[in-house]
Amino acid sequence: MASFEVQYFLGANSPAGFYSLYDQMIDRTKARRLYILKGGPGCGKSTLMRRVAERAKAAGQEVEYILCSGDPDSLDAVILPGLEIAVADGTAPHVIEPEYPGVVEQYVNLGDCYRPGLEAVRQEIMAVTKAYKGGYRSAYRCLSAAGDMMEELRTIVTDRELEEKMVRRARGILAREVPRRRGAAPGHVKGRFLTAVTHRGRIALYNTVLAQCSRVYELSDRCGLAHSLLSPLLDGIVDAGYDVIACPDPMAVDRLAHLIVPELGLAFVSTTPAMPFPEKPYRRLRMEGAVDGELLRKTRARTRFIRKMGDALTEEGIRNLAYTKSMHDKMEALYHPYIDFERVNRMADLIVEDIFSA
pLDDT of residue 285: 97
Assign 46 to helix, strand or coil.
helix
The count of structural domains within the chain is 2
Q: Please say which residue of 265, 290, 315 terminates a domain.
A: 290
The answer on 32 and 105 residing in a single domain is yes
Does any domain span residue 144?
no
Pairing assessment for the beta strands 85-89 and 75-80 based on DSSP bridges: antiparallel
Domain of 252, in residue numbers = 159-290
Residues 256 and 353 in one domain: no
Q: How distant, in Å, are the alpha carbons of 158, 219, 302 from that of 152?
A: 10, 20, 10
Write down the pLDDT at residue 1.
56
Asked whether residue 285 falls in the same domain as residue 345, the answer is no
Distance CA 142, CA 68 (A): 20
pLDDT at 40: 86
One domain for residues 281 and 349: no
Phi/psi of residue 108, nearest 5 degrees: -125, 110
* 328 in any annotated domain: no
3-class DSSP state for residue 190?
A: strand
**Nearest in space to 336 (alpha carbons), one of 69, 89, 127, 121:** 121
Say yes or no: 76 and 186 in one domain: no
- Within-domain flag for 140: no
Query: Whole-prediction pTM value?
Result: 0.95
Among 273, 290, 307, where does a domain finish?
A: 290
Q: How far from each other are the two terminal CA atoms of the chain, in whole angstroms?
A: 32
How would you write the pLDDT of the chain (358 residues) with one tens digit per residue?
556 899 999 999 999 999 999 999 999 999 999 999 998 888 889 989 999 999 999 999 999 999 999 999 999 999 999 999 999 999 989 999 999 999 999 999 998 999 999 999 999 999 999 999 999 999 999 999 999 999 999 999 999 999 999 999 999 999 999 999 988 899 999 999 999 999 999 999 999 999 999 999 999 999 999 999 999 999 999 999 999 999 999 999 999 999 999 999 999 999 999 899 999 999 999 999 999 889 999 999 999 999 999 999 999 999 999 999 999 999 999 999 999 989 988 998 999 899 888 6
Residue 350 sits in the same domain as residue 229: no
37 with 104, same domain?
yes
